[in-house]
Amino acid sequence: MEEIRATRLEKVAEIKSLGLKPYAYKWESTHRTTELQAKYADLGKGEEMGDRVAVAGRIIARRVFGKLAFFSLQDEVGTIQLYLDKKRIDAAMSDLPQAFAQLKKLTDVGDILGVEGTIKRTDKGELSVNVTNYTILTKSLLPLPDKWHGLTDTEKRYRQRYVDLIVNPESRQIFRRRAKITAAIRRYLEQRDFLEIETPVLQSEAGGAEARPFITYHNTLEMDLYLRIATELHLKRLVVGGFEKVFELGRIFRNEGVSTRHNPEFTSIEVYQAYGDYQDMMNLTEDLIKTVAEEVIEARSVNYQGKNINLQTPWRRETMHNLVLEVTGLDFTQFPDPETAKTACQEAGIEIAEGCNELGKMLNEAFEQKVEATLIQPTFVLDYPMEISPLAKPHRSKAGLVERFELFIVGRELANGFSELTDPIDQRQRLEAQAAKKAAGDLEAHNLDEDFLAALEYGMPPTVGLGIGIDRLVMLLTDAASIRDAIAFPLLKSQSKAINSFDYDSTKEILRVEFQNGSVYQYLDVPSSVYKELKDSPSVGQYFNSSIRDKFGFNREV
RNA sequence: GGGUCGCUAACUCAACGGUAGAGUAUCCGGCUUUUAACCGGCAAGUUCUGGGUUCGAAUCCCAGGCGACCCA
């Protein structure tokens, strides 16, 4: 509301006129609020301590009386009450006439305040700072949401995360925990001599996964670049180069849809260990996740959306074939040909795409459609079909399969790992097959990365790799229902901009549009017929959204 | 991509074809032990956007925007 903002700006001016700074430079606290709460937990009602303390934080509630006031002050970790006594403050702050009255008059909920005082537990039992001096550190101009209902509108929580973080402590808790999780993962790996090495985000070919990349453009090199869809191929190059234990925890970009489980940019960790196989990596995975959970949530089990997940190791390990057999009754080792399998699948209610005639793909479909959702407790699924795993080493004893595992918890894929394919000739053939699929129109098929193949030809030791979806791990350990709750600033569509005005240069065919937010864009090569339709449209905004935005090139003017 | 639901004051929500309202917050007044403080008063709106139906639309219809959930 403009009015609230205006009155607060007046207060800013008043603060300045008193010779104070509404936007201060520095404050030294002696404690955080939770430290005070812990230190004086045993202080009795009505008792007071002489210790001088200083704290700072945001005012989240004000209860003001004639000559006495109570504020609730919130810092990053908690809250504490301020006991504000007119006599005491006026006496201590003799430089500022009517210091108490000014405090009442000039502060609002939302302001950031620093105070000094002593510790006192009020007669009602609330631990408080009995304030002698206060300093307004930052004057807030915009009102905070309702203190009781808070901010519940999901969209606003994501779009204005800072407001969400101010008013919803549980939201702050998720990101605090997320930071602890990534720190614990790094600590775990570093203790075991893994080295974190950063690999490029901008790549001339995006490889290492089946996914569509984002495309960007380098101006001076005049070339298209892709944002990475995996760190796999570069980390393997490092293994070729002689690093035996490497990992990278970082952002991955996939040009895919958005859902409660997918954000186009997400965080993954990939880990590579030379001289190990996928059994070793399963051991590491379960120990890593169990250890991180113990460090971060101090428990061996976790409650996720009402389900109790037991993280006690060892976790179940079962082959994909056996799981499909168990759930659907279909035994994929017994089908004489793809046709029989297809018919059996369809009878079991599994949808198989028209052109699909690969047994491995059908097995995977059966698994995804019927089994995945049932894997609530931690389960390693083993031995995947070769068709869907072009970078994995063939199984040492089962034809047509690879030595690969995926970890499922609460019905979701959380990790993926395999004994890496180290045979450069085999790898070339498999990537060539992928490239052929890509040429045939499969947008997600792998690229053929000649340099990666060259690296393999120099020789890579037997190696096992692992990838973990960090966002999903955070979801699990914070009981977050949506991935957007686990990402501080999830990708959201930009809100449509209202148009203020527009004009048209008919000789240059430039349409100049001024938006309500003040930005001005020039849309290029816009035919006069389009301008005419825009002008005559009953709804300029609607016509603009449907027929001009995204349809014409543009330059930003302001 | 399909379906369902939502969008009204800064926040949380009413009003369901007939004068747009409440609580909280703000603003003014009162109050020295409150903690969703209390009491009294004032002010606050592009009902997401654009069309349509109607004497009359927040409400019904159409199109669009954004979001949530479910499904693929």
pLDDT at res. A38: 95
pLDDT of residue A220: 96
Indicate yes or no: strand B within 7 A of the C-beta of A146: yes
* Res A529 pLDDT > 80: no
Mean pLDDT of A107-128: 95
- What's the maximum distance between 2 C-alpha atoms anywhere in chain A? 95
Quick check: A4 CB within 7 A of strand B? yes
CA distance A223 to A220: 8
Looking at per-residue pLDDT, the higher value among A5 and A475 belongs to: A475
| Chain B bases closer than 7 angstroms to a protein Cβ | 1, 6, 9-13, 23-28, 30-37, 43-44, 46, 49-51, 63-72
Residues 234-293 of A with CB under 7 A from strand B: 257, 259-260
Would you say residue A558 has pLDDT above 60? no
Supply the angle between the helices A359-366 and A320-328 in degrees, to the nearest 10.
60
| CA A275 vs CA A192, A240, A419: distances in Å | 15, 12, 10
Mean local confidence (pLDDT), A492-519 = 69
Give the model's pLDDT for residue A498.
55
Cβ atoms of residues A371 and A324 within 8 Å: yes
Distance of CA A283 to the CA centre of its chain: 27
If pLDDT is split at 50, 70 and 90, which confidence band does A376 have? very high
In DSSP terms, which residues pair with A505 in a beta bridge? A510
Average of pLDDT values for A338-357? 86
* Residue A333 in this model has a pLDDT that exceeds 80: yes
Mean pLDDT of A253-280: 94
CB of A122 under 7 A from strand B?
yes
Rg of chain A, C-alpha, whole Å: 30
- Tell me: the pLDDT tens digits for A29-75? 999 999 999 999 999 999 999 899 999 999 999 999 989 999 999 99
Between the ranges A206-220, A280-294, A322-336, A443-457, where is the mean pLDDT highest? A280-294
Degrees to nearest 5, angle at CA A162 with A160 and A165: 115
What is the spatial distance between Cα A513 and Cα A503, in angstroms, rounded to a whole number?
7
Residues A98-111 have a mean pLDDT of 93
**pLDDT confidence band for A147 (50 / 70 / 90):** confident
pLDDT over 90 (residue A466): yes
The spacing between the Cα labelled CA in A73 and the C1' in B29, in angstroms, equals 27
Instruction: Give A499's pLDDT tier (boundaries 50, 70, 90).
Output: low
Residues 20-79 of A with CB under 7 A from strand B: 61-68, 70, 72
- Model pLDDT for residues A167-212, shown as the tens digit of each residue: 998 999 999 999 999 999 999 999 999 999 999 999 998 999 989 8
Question: pLDDT value at position A214?
Answer: 92
Q: Which residue has the tokens 């490497």?
A: A246
pLDDT higher than threshold 70 for residue A457: yes
Residues 148-167/A with CB within 7 Å of nucleic chain B are 148-156, 158
Q: pLDDT per residue over A7-33, tens digit each?
A: 999 999 999 999 999 999 999 999 999
Mean pLDDT over A354-371 rounds to 88
For chain A, what percent of residues have pLDDT higher than 90? 74
Mean pLDDT across chain A: 91
Integer distance in angstroms from CA A558 to C1' B46? 26
Q: Is the peptide bond before A390 cis (omega within 30 degrees of 0)?
A: no
pLDDT range class, residue A286, cuts 50, 70, 90: very high
In three-state secondary structure terms, A57 is: strand
Closest alpha carbon to A473 in A518, A517, A410, A523: A410
What would the two tokens of residue A530 be? 């389009």
Confidence of residue A503 (pLDDT cuts 50, 70, 90): confident
**Strand B near-CB residues (< 7 Å), A 86-115:** 86-87, 105, 108-109
Long-range CB contacts (within 8 A, 24+) of A397-405: A400/A359, A400/A360, A403/A277, A403/A278, A404/A278, A405/A278, A405/A281, A405/A282, A405/A317, A405/A380, A405/A381
**What is d(CA A159, CA A161) in angstroms, rounded to the nearest whole number?**
6
C1' of B18 to CA of A538 (Å): 28
State yes or no: pLDDT of A538 exceeds 60: no
Q: Is the CB of A145 under 7 A from strand B?
A: yes
- pTM of the complete model: 0.89
Sheet holding A316-319, edge to edge: A195-196, A245-253, A265-274, A463-469, A412-419, A401-409, A379-385, A316-319
**Mind listing the pLDDT tens digit for each residue in A431-449?**
999 999 888 888 888 989 9
CB count within 10 Å of CB A199 equals: 19
Question: 3-class secondary structure for A468-518?
Answer: EEHHHHHHHHHCCCCHHHHCCCCCCCCCCCCEEEEEEECCCCEEEEEECCC
- pLDDT at position A552: 66
Residues 458-517/A with CB within 7 Å of nucleic chain B are 481-482, 484, 492-496, 498, 516
Residue A541: the pLDDT is 63
8 Å CB contact between A393 and A377: no
